[in-house]
Amino acid sequence: MTRADLHTLTGAYAVNALSGRELTDFERHLAVCDACRQEVRELRETAAKLAVATSLTPPPTMKDDVLRRIATVRQEPPRVAAREARESTRAPAAHRAAGDELRAGGLCGGGRRMRRGRGVAVPAGVRRA
């Protein structure tokens, strides 16, 4: 990272958005650069003023409203990209095929009767943990 690049990181540093090597390099630079120290100080002051200016005090009834509604509002499932969704629909079939191969080879359950659950062959009568 060049010295010129380091000067562009003042805003990210001021709002704690640097990590790893960038953070280490910038803090080393900050120790010797008066201009960047001044800019970071000003940006932090501005960020604090903006946070106060945009904050709201919640209405006193908000906690009771949330606690009352929480039992009736269902959590949305995670959104999955189309490719991941296609792959997840194929996974159980792959697990079943592997279980079939193990059973056919006598490697799973010692020839005992097997039942399926969650795509994995389990000896009949064995409980899952």
pLDDT, block means (10 residues), the chain with 129 residues: 84 94 94 95 94 87 91 83 61 59 53 50 54
Which pLDDT belongs to residue 110? Answer: 47
Res 8: pLDDT: 93
CA-wise closest residue to 33 among 3, 73, 55: 3
Alpha helices in 1-129 (DSSP H): 3-7, 10-14, 20-30, 34-54, 62-69, 82-104
Q: Which two tokens stand for residue 114?
A: 């097997």
